[in-house]
């Protein structure tokens, strides 16, 4: 009986290990930008998307920061009155990625607490999205191309 249980547990563990990459690939912060455009309607009461020339791509409120270019910029990286938790994250050099923004949008205060390691840390943003992946993917469409990694070798054509 112990051998059967051991085999069953080993098989289950192996299946879980094999399934995790597939799950992460489909649900790991890479959302649907088209769905995110619709979901962003919930965000417009506080946030706008205004490009560098001042053109309003999405008109919205000013309670929250402009979200143009948020993916790829430092946390608390614009001229806005951010909460102390986000300012602290910005000072660590944290740069918003789709994955980080997805986690933040799901529970901003829990995210700030986890990232800073401070149980007393808070976020000024109290709104939570059930799944922020689509909104993060949508916002990524308004971010300039990410610069190449520093020190990355340039590709050179193979020679025969």
User: What pLDDT, in 10s, does the model give residues 47-95?
Assistant: 999 999 999 999 999 999 999 999 999 999 999 999 999 999 999 999 9
Instruction: Give the residue numbers spanning the domain of 22.
Output: 1-30
- Whether 133 and 60 share a structural domain: yes
Tell me the two tokens of residue 88: 């602290």
Whether residue 135 sits in one domain with residue 84? yes
Residue 115 lies in a domain: yes
Let me know whether 19 and 69 are in one domain.
no
Please name every residue paired with 56 in a beta bridge, in sequence order, or none if there are none. 50
Radius of gyration over every alpha carbon of the chain, rounded to an integer in angstroms: 20
Return the pLDDT at 72.
96
Same domain (yes/no): 37, 74: yes
| Residue 35, token pair as written in the block | 């769905």
Query: Which one has a higher pLDDT value, 23 or 108?
Result: 108
Q: Are residues 26 and 57 in the same domain?
A: no
The pair of three-digit structure tokens given for residue 79, joined into one six-digit string: 């001229």
pTM above 0.85, yes or no: no
Residues 67 and 100 in one domain: yes
Quick one: 122 and 135 in the same domain? yes
Residues 120 and 92 in one domain: yes
Closest CA to 97 of 42, 7, 28, 8: 28
CA distance 123 to 116: 11
How many domains is the chain built from?
2
- Shared domain for 2 and 23, answered yes or no, is yes
């Amino acid at each position: 009986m112990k051998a059967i249980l051991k085999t069953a547990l080993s098989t289950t563990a192996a299946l879980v290990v094999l399934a995790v990459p597939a799950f992460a690939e489909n649900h790991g912060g890479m959302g649907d930008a088209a769905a995110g455009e619709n979901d962003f309607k919930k965000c417009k009461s506080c946030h706008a998307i205004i490009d560098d020339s001042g053109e309003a791509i999405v008109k919205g409120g000013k309670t929250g920061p402009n979200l143009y270019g948020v993916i790829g910029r430092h946390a608390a990286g614009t001229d806005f009155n951010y909460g102390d938790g986000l300012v602290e994250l910005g000072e660590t050099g944290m740069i918003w990625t789709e994955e980080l923004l997805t986690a933040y949008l799901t529970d901003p205060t829990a995210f700030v607490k986890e990232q800073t390691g401070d149980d007393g840390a808070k976020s000024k943003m109290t709104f939570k999205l059930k799944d922020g992946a689509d909104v993060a993917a949508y916002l990524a469409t308004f971010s300039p191309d990410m610069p190449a990694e520093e020190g990355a070798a340039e590709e050179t054509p193979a020679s025969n």
